[in-house]
Amino acid sequence: MRKSVLGFLLAAMLLALSACGKAPGAVTDPVGTDSGQSGTEAAPTEKEEEPVKKIEGNSLYVRKVENMPADFILGMDASAVPALEASGVKYYNFKGEEQDVFRTLAENGVNMIRVRVWNDPFDEAGHGFGGGNCTAETAAEIGKRAAEAGMSLLVNFHYSDFWADPGKQMEPRAWDGLRFSEKTEAVYQYTKESLEKIKAAGAKIGMVQIGNETNGAMAGEHAWEDICTLMQAGSRAVREVCPEALVAVHFANPEKAGSYHGYADYLKFYGVDYDVFGSSYYPYWHGTLDNLAAVLNDIAASYGKKTAILETSYAYTPEDTDFSGNTIGEGTSGITKNYPFTQQGQVNCLTDVVDTAVNKISGCVGVFYWEGTWISVGTNSWEENHALWEKYGSGWASSYAAVYDPDDAGKYYGGCAVDNQAFFDASGRPLQSLQAFNLMRFGNEVPLKADAPEDVTLMIDLNAEIVMPDKINAVMNDGSRQEVPVTWDLTDADKEKMKSGGVAVYEVKGEAAGMPAKAQVSMIEYNFLQNYSFEDGDAHWTVTDLAKADELRVENKATDSLTGPCHYHFWSAAKNSVEFTLEQEVKDLPAGQYKFAISVMGGDAGETDIYAYVKIDGEITQTAPMKITSYGSWDTGRINGIAVKQGQTVTVGIYVKCAGSGNGAWGKIDDALLNTEP
């Protein structure tokens, strides 16, 4: 037995306003209030050149967003706060003191609060559906507290009794059975009365959203004429109650080409009076920022509207903190992980979104982060948390939601899915990343350092020496990438186990730049042949026709192939007209011991002489006889113990000779394998 030492190692990086106020986000001091505490920054002045401000103790890199107007909206959806507080959640400031979370948000640069409003998120017995049990009353409370902290309010009407999004736009139960004209009046009255209530509480309503992610439906209506009629009823109410507030419409999935232009076209055609065309932008689902900018710029240019990013968020940790699964985390399928799941990653994501909004999107009035205050109601157990979610509606949905949304909430009710995307930890302490809302206006220059090592994926031949890379890429705090040294927790005994364990995948842990590193190592039987299954036509193969066969070619027919759609096909009508070789030459094989296999099936072959062969430097050294019997009966020729010295040229192939019978000899050849032997 010889150990071949193969040099190959294939590595790839895994990827990844006064009551109804003046202007959007207009508050006296939108950036920060002078509370005199650390973690707070003074407001920017009108001057262009502002010295770089520092926040004591903040070690995160924050790129300065140039050209940001003082009244640019840096918003936060904080709809679940009252339900969380009822569940026992406490929020703290950077000094460690318990403090109203809205004050903490304002001190750290948030200047507008967004709140969702559901018509009636309760069952007949008064049990809340969850998600904060958000009603106009909740919005009034939040709006009042926001105003006391110096922030204006975006009222986000879902026109539903529970979550409205592209997947569901169910009408409120109270509107079931209404004639459309009555429903239109109901939207108007409900909007009007809700806004009056919220305004009366002392909220400074700066913007009102007519529907939430209304991609082709709203309040149970699916025809654009009807959707737009309802939207216009809502808009009319806003204009009457809050004449100086912006009217916003809201859609999702900017990555779907042409969809936004289409929506805006309907809104124009059916005469919806609105100011802001808003989009959700979750970077892990919704395409690139450049695409977002392009589709919103098209709306601004084509329809003369303002724009906004009404929802965005990113994870500061992959970990769940409330025993209820999260929307994104390590290994979540179907997401794009453009940033590490760290506070720095969260900040870099937010900065990129805000920078795009300010500098690349026409007429963009602001960016709202979604539920950056939605944290765990407890860290002890699922049972304890579940009781709180059910009682106070502090999870995304309670079991009571089943009466309204049986197929989703009714089945999958639970806790918070975004606790790892908040700006507060599970104990309510603000994260350094929250300070980015202020720091983005000035930039925060800190020394360059690694933020997170990138996972690596390796494929290693079972019979090769297991060589782990001594450097891997790390995402730096400024978002750039650099190589950093890495050490792996892999003993010689571990390596022997991996080599003797056959084809398998292992996770190898290590450390890089003081942080955990991870490699996914696939132990494989590396195939030294190219185009082994004829999926790339006859590339790399040489056929020598010795008897002028009628057909010798690659055929695309999965049912006749051993694996994949393609195989090598032969057929010839005349007797003794099938004789050929099909071979591949391999140069620069590492010295060592190899095995070769190739498969054939066929029929009507008469007398045959078929064999697999190996040539070393042009001379046949080994053969293995093969036979054709009937359709579907694959015969594999195997040659083991192929000893190769450095510099020798190895050729492997199949010789086929058929006398033929009946309709002419035919056959199929597929899957040639040249692997190392232990």
Tell me which residues are annotated as active site.
213, 311
Of 289 and 418, which has the nearer Cβ to Ca ion? 418
Q: How far apart are CA 133 and CA 85, in angstroms?
A: 13
3-state secondary structure of 290: helix
Q: Which of 255, 273, 320, 555 binds Ca ion (CB under 5 A)?
A: 320
Q: How far is CA 233 from the centre of its chain?
A: 36
Length of the chain: 678
Of 225 and 319, which has the nearer Cβ to Ca ion? 319
Q: Does 385 bind Ca ion (CB under 5 A)?
A: no
Q: Does 511 bind Ca ion (CB under 5 A)?
A: no
Q: How far apart are CA 105 and CA 146, in angstroms?
A: 9
Q: Which of 324, 346, 444, 572 binds Ca ion (CB under 5 A)?
A: 324
Q: Does 560 bind Ca ion (CB under 5 A)?
A: no
Of 183 and 386, which has the nearer Cβ to Ca ion? 386
Q: What long-range pairs does 293-300 form, CB within 8 A, spacing at least 24?
A: 293/356, 293/360, 293/361, 295/254, 295/260, 295/261, 296/254, 296/260, 296/361, 296/362, 296/364, 297/360, 297/361, 297/362, 298/260, 298/261, 299/260, 299/261, 299/264, 300/361, 300/362, 300/363
Number of chain positions touching Ca ion (CB under 5 A) = 6
Least distance CB 78 / Ca ion (angstroms):
17
Of 417 and 652, which has the nearer Cβ to Ca ion? 417
The one-character DSSP state at 404 is T
Q: Does 425 bind Ca ion (CB under 5 A)?
A: no
Of 26 and 416, which has the nearer Cβ to Ca ion? 416
For residue 230, give the amino acid letter: L
Least distance CB 417 / Ca ion (angstroms):
6
Q: Which of 41, 213, 226, 322 binds Ca ion (CB under 5 A)?
A: 322
Q: Which of 58, 317, 326, 398 binds Ca ion (CB under 5 A)?
A: 326
Q: At what angle do helices 289-303 and 259-269 cross, to 10 degrees?
A: 20
What track of x and - describes contact with Ca ion for positions 405 through 424 (by CB under 5 A)?
-----------x--x-----
Least distance CB 398 / Ca ion (angstroms):
15
Least distance CB 44 / Ca ion (angstroms):
36
Instruction: List the beta strands (DSSP E) in 546-634.
Output: 551-556, 566-572, 578-586, 592-603, 608-616, 619-626
Q: How crowded is the C-beta side of 387, counted as CA atoms within 13 Å?
A: 6
Q: Are strands 276-280 and 306-312 parallel, antiparallel or unpaired?
A: parallel
Least distance CB 419 / Ca ion (angstroms):
4
Least distance CB 324 / Ca ion (angstroms):
4
Q: How far apart are CA 406 and CA 410, in angstroms?
A: 4
Of 245 and 422, which has the nearer Cβ to Ca ion? 422
Q: Which stretch binds Ca ion (CB under 5 A): 236-244, 325-333, 378-386, 447-455?
A: 325-333
Q: How far is CA 89 from the centre of its chain?
A: 29
> Which positions touch Ca ion (CB under 5 A)?
320, 322, 324, 326, 416, 419
